[in-house]
Amino acid sequence: MRKQGPRTRAVVAVLTAALLGVAGCDAVGGDSAGPTQKAKPSPKPTPAWDSSPGSMAAVGDSITRGFDACGILKDCPDVSWATGASTQVDSLAVRLLGRAKAAEHSWNYAVSGARMADLSGQMAQAAARTPALVTVMVGANDACRDSTAAMTSVSDFRSGFEDALSVLRKQAPKAQVYVASVPNLKRLWSEGRTNPLGKQVWKLGVCPSMLADADALDAAATERRDTVQERVEAYNSVLKEVCAEDQHCRYDGGAVYDYRFGTDQLSHWDWFHPSVNGQARLAEIAYRKVRSVT
């Protein structure tokens, strides 16, 4: 086994101390003598999606906060894919509103470590702004638990998302909602495990349900990772189904989950959260989906 260099030991030491507190829709006519039937009203057309909203708010978890993208164990909202001002990312807000307007008409209420159960509180804050668009990215922390048994159940995930949308609708009934799929955690394991430092960091408690014992390929480890992956896919099915029931909601169609990211898109502090490059790729995906006419 190779000895860890000074930088590796320093990073691991700092992470050890800090990660302990952190868990990224006919009328009848003719000559009939009978009573005339009233024409049935035509179904209301589905409201057109506004691909150029004038304001936006973001809710979700550490990914939307830019955690570990700029430095070790800290939020960096300036590079957030959703609302950041960084020219290295060109966030969704900047792309939609322009840099000057985005600074005054976009708000980030995401919280690092948040799970679906926390989304309603964030949504209430977002709704108070009556934004034209709300972005949602949440679910990774529901799957990233100490064990597969501790993962959020699919039913609780569903009820949490339904409640969050209900909270939004009470104050902002016409706000559009863009919902990003939960990232592919198994691909994250596959890509990140190629880095020795990353694996040392993961041992400190980063997404243990998926990333623990990163080099283990035995049946138990494989089953554990497959269980997490199946839960993520179930979460994405929930996001798609619940969003489809809201006429102002648009799911990304699994675009974030399907994105084939590499190590350049991962934070080189924890090999888990998106790097600045990764944040820029998320912004590109979101912009493409929000601007699409279908």
Contacts of 53 (CB under 8 A, 6+ apart): 96, 97, 131, 132, 133, 176, 290
Q: Which of 247, 256, 241, 242 is nearest to 289 (CA)?
A: 256
Give the chain's residues under pLDDT 70: 1-47
Q: Does domain 50-183+234-291 have CATH number 3.30.70.380?
A: no
Per-residue confidence (pLDDT) for residue 80, from 0 to 100: 98
Residue 169 CA, chain-centre distance (Å), reads 20
In tens, the pLDDT along 107-161 reads: 999 999 999 999 999 999 999 999 999 999 999 999 999 999 999 999 999 999 9
- Residue 172 and residue 214 in contact, taking contact as beta carbons nearer than 8 Å: no
The predicted pLDDT at position 41 comes to 54
Q: In what order do the strands lie in the sheet with 176-179?
A: 106-108, 56-60, 133-137, 176-179, 249-251
Q: What is the pLDDT of residue 294?
A: 74
pLDDT at 122 (0 to 100): 98
C-alpha separations of 253 from 25, 132, 168, 288, 294 in Å: 23, 21, 22, 12, 11
Residue 64, pLDDT score:
98
pLDDT of the residue at 277:
98
Give the CA-trace dihedral at 85, 91, 92, 95, to 10 degrees: 80
